[in-house]
Structure 1
Amino acid sequence: MKAFLLIALSLLAGVSHTARADDTIERGRYLSVAADCVACHTSPKQGKPYAGGYAIASPLGEIWASNITPSTSHGIGNYTEADFAKAVREGVRKDGAHLYPAMPYTSYAKLTDEDIHALYVYFMQAVAPVDEEARTTELPFPFSVRSSMAVWNLLFLDKTPFKPDPAQSAQWNRGAYLVEGLAHCSSCHSPRGLMMQEVGGKAFAGGSLGDWYAPNITSHPISGIGGWTDDELAQYLKTGRVEGKGQAGGGMAEAVSNSLSKLRDDDISAIVTYLRTVPAVADKDATRAAFAWGDAATAPGEPAIRGTDAPIASGAVLYSGLCASCHGSRGEGSNDGYYPSLVHNSTVGMVRPQNLVATIIGGIDREVDGKHVVMPHFSEGSYVQALSDADIAAVASYVRTTFGPGDQVTAAQVALIRDGGEKPLLAKIARLWLPLLILALAAFVVVILLVRRAWTRRKQRRASA
């Protein structure tokens, strides 16, 4: 009887242990979704999950995401949990090499030990190993010197883990943990300083992401999201669209498709609760909320043209031929909302025309709950029509003039956005670094030759004296 009881207890203990392990793996899987790991570490061209091969565009060059499967030859299969934690929270690989902060370890530094453990168990036990080498990042000098990131980390990396605020609700603290840590929202939505660090005091006030611009998501009623209701914010995070407000494109469409749409409703509510309290930051150029611009053109089939400017006139023709069949001759969109209205549309009404132009150049590709939203791009290779910089400027000017703030877009602006957007000062300095270094070396060589020549002549004079 005693033996039977011991066997039964051992079986129950085994079941309990297995259940706990399964719970840890499921928790780690959910955390990886909240952190949007798959978006960056999986190639968009039918890549294997977490095997790398995704190029993250940065002002300093393309940064290629690494293989984070448990492969012992090309992934993180040899990482201990301490190695894993150091990579995730401090940006240092097992071999001691530093990661670039395109991997948002500055946000992941806030993760708790329990969540790091769950993530580690998930990646080591539930992710299939892929024995394939991911493409290596090759930034131009001096950014290719990874050890320089040690200095950057000393200056800008805050290693303080997240600490709940006892004065706030549990929901608010959960939202803060998600927004500031796992979801790393500030990595995209905050402006960057000279050294590409997030600017203190302007968190979530908007930031350039190459050709796209991550908008201000502070609580400001005009510049930020203060004019959105809680339900609208939750709907946008879950679906990527809210009629009369905006639609997600670019990196935000990826975040919605791969991460936010898969979060529990209580976590979405927590995110909204926290964002409501983010200190408002005003954009001095914003005179009206981005979604508040626009009135439908006066008559179907007769797009309104303000003034007689030729680019706008040609833009009206392009709009009528390429855009009106989906967005409506008056910008009203389709009846079912699949093709969004351009009236009261945040992309159209933003202070910067950047996202409108990026949408025309790159299109939209977003999938949520099996519903695929696609807008064709109008760049080279388009199955619709490839537009020149001048064409895109014309149609964007027409849309901005008819439904937006009324400004015009130039071909030069389009060319800049097509080339990856405005480069930060650090990148501009870096471009001069090599020519200046070459000039300095050349000058040094010339000086050495002149000194050597003078010394030789002096030696010859002494010999002949």
Structure 2
Amino acid sequence: MKTRRTRPWMAALASCFLALPAGAQTGAAPVTGSLARGEYLARVGGCANCHTMPRDGIPFAGGRPMSTPLGPIISTNITPDPVHGIGRYSFDDFRRVMHEGTAPGPKHLYPAMPYTAYTKATDEDLRALFDYLRHGVAPSDYAPPPTRLPFPFDQRWALRFWKAAFLPSGRYVDKPGKDAEWNRGAYLVQSFGHCGSCHTPRGVAYQERGHDESARHFLTGMVNDNWHATNLTGTQGAGLGRSDAASVAHFLRTGHADGNIAFGAMAEEVEQSIQYLTEADVRAVAKYLKSLPARRNEGAYSPDRPDAPGPRQGDRTGNVESVGARVYKSFCAQCHQPDGKGVAGTFPRLAGNASVLGDDATSLIRLAVQGGRGPRTATGPAPQMMPAFDDTLTDVQIAQVLTYVRQSWGNTARPVTTNDVTKLKSKLK
């Protein structure tokens, strides 16, 4: 199997809720009492994932390169080291970083740091997080290399105008008429969870096109680091419209629900962070997500239509999809089953899978090319591997088998073209 390094896009943009366990670091103070709250928020906020080099990096010491359309951005050291970290920060310094995107200096931060979400966090939560980073994390004198973007993106002073135009103002305020659980879920999704960083489309100035449920583009999905973050609204086809709140909560906890399995960046998020959310917080997040109205009609699933669950008529008449049907039978059906329903808890279903039905097929193509695995969680099934087919199937065959999958068993989604496959493969090299 051919593997390629995945570079996360815009720091936390690939890490809604993503973080690594922080309390067991050598040299860190024991995490007890109030520090436990800060550790929990660090996990929810994805601090360690972005500020730790992959493959045995020093926790929170930075140095991880993050691929962005502007160029690579290097994460900083946020350990309590007084020279290379935040050891000399006051709480007001830290609060300005989180709420305003401005570090001491002053130094305007690129929105790779999701301060557009953290600006909604309460001062009390930021104080707990600050105390944890100062007293619950081991200091490191590692000095990450500086970020060097090409002109004009290296002109940080211009970010003050970007922030004036696009940085939301004020902390999260409970919505009247909504109960405490809904508001807790909204707070987590919009602030520390920064789900919109991955799942909300961006505009021409690289800004999120909405920061809460009042915006029609909020959480409707977008491509990050060559993965497509799915639509989290109530859309029936490619969204959460066909899942109930209990299923959404179970998926967040285990990475498995309704025959769906987390993969790619989402598998990493579930494995390293979301599974550790409290039961109350998981339910709150699920309740909030399920309250979002349907946006952006994408794909459709009709299990009762005449040609479901079998292949379309075109697959039996020499049409191009017949190649896709043969490839599916040879390489896919053993795991995903001839009817596309998969094996519960082991191999995901393809019939009615929201990731299959989305307008954007980036994630499907990447899985076919590179393979992948499900998340390892405390309460979910053991993770299974999907093999890479880059060396086995041609670009034409990959396009045709994915088109077959997207148009069989009641699925209705746009075809995948050979050019779609070729273009993505060039980006993954």
TM-score range, shorter chain: 0.7 to 0.9
1:161 CA drift (Å): 1.0
Please name the residue that 1:414 is paired with.
Answer: 421
Match of 1:77 among 77, 87, 90: 87
1:28 CA drift (Å): 0.0
Please name the residue that 1:390 is paired with.
Answer: 396
Q: Which amino acid aligns with 1:186?
A: G
The answer to whether the Cα contact below 8 Å between 1:108 and 1:184 also exists between their aligned partners in 2 is: yes
The answer to whether the Cα contact below 8 Å between 1:290 and 1:350 also exists between their aligned partners in 2 is: no
Q: 1:53 to 1:292 in 2, by over 3 A?
A: farther
Match of 1:405 among 398, 402, 412: 412
The number of equivalent residue pairs is 389
Match of 1:275 among 266, 289, 294: 289
Q: Which amino acid aligns with 1:211?
A: N
Partner secondary structure for residue 197 of structure 1? coil
The answer to whether the Cα contact below 8 Å between 2:395 and 2:422 also exists between their aligned partners in 1 is: yes
Q: 1:420 to 1:210 in 2, by over 3 A?
A: farther
TM-score by structure 1 length?
Answer: 0.75
Q: 1:42 to 1:388 in 2, by over 3 A?
A: farther
Name the Cα RMSD after superposition. 2.9
The answer to whether the Cα contact below 8 Å between 1:342 and 1:348 also exists between their aligned partners in 2 is: yes
Q: Which amino acid aligns with 2:241?
A: G
Runs of 5+ in structure 2 lacking a partner? 1-30
Please name the residue that 1:340 is paired with.
Answer: 348
Partner secondary structure for residue 137 of structure 2? coil
Same amino acid, percent of matched pairs: 35
Please name the residue that 1:43 is paired with.
Answer: 53
Report which structure shows greater RCO (CA 8 Å, sep ≥6): 2
Partner secondary structure for residue 341 of structure 1? coil
Q: 1:406 to 1:36 in 2, by over 3 A?
A: closer
Partner secondary structure for residue 220 of structure 2? coil
Please name the residue that 2:248 is paired with.
Answer: 233
The answer to whether the Cα contact below 8 Å between 1:67 and 1:75 also exists between their aligned partners in 2 is: yes
Instruction: Indicate yes or no: 2:300 matched with 1:288.
Output: yes
Of stretches 92-101 and 228-237 in structure 1, the one that deviates more from structure 2 is 92-101
Of stretches 325-334 and 269-278 in structure 1, the one that deviates more from structure 2 is 325-334
Of stretches 387-396 and 186-195 in structure 1, the one that deviates more from structure 2 is 387-396
1:317 CA drift (Å): 4.2
The answer to whether the Cα contact below 8 Å between 2:328 and 2:401 also exists between their aligned partners in 1 is: yes
Q: For 1:372-391, what aligned pairs fall within 5 Å after superposition? A: 372-376=382-386, 378=388, 385=391, 387-391=393-397
Q: Which amino acid aligns with 1:225?
A: L
Q: For 1:58-73, what aligned pairs fall within 5 Å after superposition? A: 58-73=68-83
Q: 1:361 to 1:103 in 2, by over 3 A?
A: farther
Please name the residue that 1:363 is paired with.
Answer: 371
The answer to whether the Cα contact below 8 Å between 1:292 and 1:345 also exists between their aligned partners in 2 is: no
Q: Distance in 2 between matches of 1:413 and 1:306?
A: 25
Please name the residue that 2:118 is paired with.
Answer: 108
Q: Which amino acid aligns with 2:336?
A: H
Q: For 1:9-408, what aligned pairs fall within 5 Å after superposition? A: 22-200=32-210, 201=215, 202-222=217-237, 224-244=239-259, 246-278=260-292, 280-284=293-297, 286=298, 288=300, 295-297=308-310, 305=315, 307-310=317-320, 312-334=321-343, 336-365=344-373, 366-369=375-378, 372-376=382-386, 378=388, 385=391, 387-403=393-409, 404-405=411-412, 407-408=414-415
Listed one character per residue, the Cα deviations across residues 255-294 of structure 1 (whole Å, up to 9, x for unaligned) are 212221110010011112222333x24324x352599999
Please name the residue that 1:448 is paired with.
Answer: none
Please name the residue that 2:12 is paired with.
Answer: none
The answer to whether the Cα contact below 8 Å between 1:207 and 1:213 also exists between their aligned partners in 2 is: yes
Q: Which amino acid aligns with 1:283?
A: R
The answer to whether the Cα contact below 8 Å between 2:371 and 2:387 also exists between their aligned partners in 1 is: yes
Q: Distance in 2 between matches of 1:283 and 1:91?
A: 31
The answer to whether the Cα contact below 8 Å between 2:236 and 2:300 also exists between their aligned partners in 1 is: no
Partner secondary structure for residue 208 of structure 1? strand
1:197 CA drift (Å): 1.0
Q: Distance in 1 between matches of 2:131 and 2:54?
A: 25
1:184 CA drift (Å): 0.8
TM-score by structure 2 length?
Answer: 0.81
Please name the residue that 1:8 is paired with.
Answer: none
Listed one character per residue, the Cα deviations across residues 215-272 of structure 1 (whole Å, up to 9, x for unaligned) are 222234455323211111111111122134x322222222212221110010011112
Q: Which amino acid aligns with 2:126?
A: I
Q: Distance in 1 between matches of 2:221 and 2:261?
A: 17
Greater share of helix residues, 1 or 2?
A: 1
Bigger Rg over Cα: 1
Q: Distance in 2 between matches of 1:223 and 1:329?
A: 22
Q: 1:82 to 1:414 in 2, by over 3 A?
A: same
Q: Distance in 2 between matches of 1:390 and 1:411?
A: 5
